[in-house]
Amino acid sequence: MLAAFFGIELAGGLLTGSLALIADAAHVATDAGALVLALGAIWLAQRPISSNQTYGFYRTEIFAALVNGVTLCAVAAWVAFEGYQRVMTEPEVRSGPMLIVALAGFVAQAGVAFALSGATEESLNVKAAYLHVVTDAAQSLAVVAAGALMFAFGWYLADPIVSFVIAVGVAYTGGRIAWDAISVLLERSPVKVDVEALCSQLEALPEVEGVHDIHVWSITTGYEVLSAHAVVSTQDERDREILLRRMRQIASEQFGIEHVTIQIESSGARCDESHHVPHVSATGGA
């Protein structure tokens, strides 16, 4: 369906001379490409873990997101450049056919959004798809408005102006996607994990004297990992096991960390690592 929207809008944009239609078609094309990348990443992520890939292929989703984000930014830059060129030399657009194509695109995307709206509470993926389609429909409505202004008043500058608006929206979306992917690749602390609060709760447990060398990062979206050292005063193996189980429970249930590795140390023991991080802010990374 996305491919059909792309073909219709691209052909309509080329035939009518409308940059706004071409810009909207380009956005639809990147949506389709992102879907293909996401499906490929999901397929790779399902491949079994091996001794050479101890975390599997989960990071393929992040690389796919980075490619998608950079592509969106490139499309936005091209649309903005073309829009600038058209502002300098006011274009003449065949506004009648352009308005018909824009209306068809808006109706189709609004229909898809309506079809998805009933299932948004059942699946996060469906909700994300719904929001994306709603954004595309809003952009198509802006193209319809530009076509109406040109058809009614001959105001052809509406075409590059709407193209600029679309370019800003696409650049914002692409920038956010690319930044989120880069944050994962740089192994920054996940935004949803308050590392300061996590350290405080672990250190509040009886017989836990301190937590250091704590690292929190994401393998992929929704798959957070924790590595830390905990100094405890008890030497009893059973008590240590209970403490370890409790710390893992706090990290998992209260902070949503799926993979937890905590090394128990005795009082006075010195960690081999040269850097000790008792508390790390979630914004600064771990």
Tens-place pLDDT, residues 204-245:
998 899 999 899 998 877 789 999 999 999 889 999 999 999
Say if residues 102 and 23 touch (Cβ distance below 8 Å). no
Q: pLDDT (tens digit, 9 = 90+) per residue, 22-50?
A: 888 877 776 666 667 666 766 776 777 76
Residue 281 CB neighbours (<10 A): 11
Which residues, in sequence order, are CB contacts of 112 under 8 Å at separation 6+? 1, 133, 137
8-state DSSP, 254: I
Q: Quick: pLDDT tens for 90-128.
A: 777 888 888 898 888 888 778 877 876 776 565 444 555
Distance CA 174, CA 74 (A): 9
Q: For 279, how many CA atoms within 13 A lie in the half-sphere containing its CB?
A: 8
- How far is the CA of 145 from the CAs of 34, 112, 142, in angstroms? 27, 20, 5
- The per-residue pLDDT for 123 is 44
Q: Which one, of 276, 224, 274, 232, lies nearest residue 253 by Cα?
A: 224
The proportion of the chain whose per-residue pLDDT surpasses 90, expressed as a percent, equals: 20
Q: How confident is the model at residue 3 (pLDDT cuts 50, 70, 90)?
A: low
For the chain, how many residues are written? 286
2-185 and 195-266: same fold? no
221 vs 63, higher pLDDT: 63
Q: Tokens 């948004």 belong to which residue?
A: 120
Q: Tell how far CA 261 is from the center of its chain.
A: 27
One-letter amino acid for residue 163 of the chain = S
Q: Considering the domain delimited by 195-266, tell me its CATH architecture.
A: 2-Layer Sandwich (3.30)
Global pTM reads 0.71
Q: Around 209, how many Cα atoms within 13 Å sit in the side-chain half-sphere? A: 11
Burial of 91 (0-12, 13-18, 19+ CB in 10 A): middle
DSSP state of 231: E
Contacts of 124 by beta carbon, 8 Å cutoff, 6+ apart: none
Tokens of 60: 């393929």
- Which one-letter DSSP state was computed for residue 120? T
Please state the domain extents for the chain: 2-185, 195-266
42, containing H or E segment: helix 19-45
Does the pLDDT of residue 278 top 60, yes or no?
A: no
Question: Residue 212 pairs with which residues in a beta bridge?
Answer: 229
Amino acid 227: pLDDT: 93
CATH of domain 2-185: 1.20.1510
- Average pLDDT over the chain reads 80
DSSP 203-225: HTSTTEEEEEEEEEEEEETTEEE
d(CA 42, CA 60): 8
282/98 Cα distance (integer angstroms)? 49
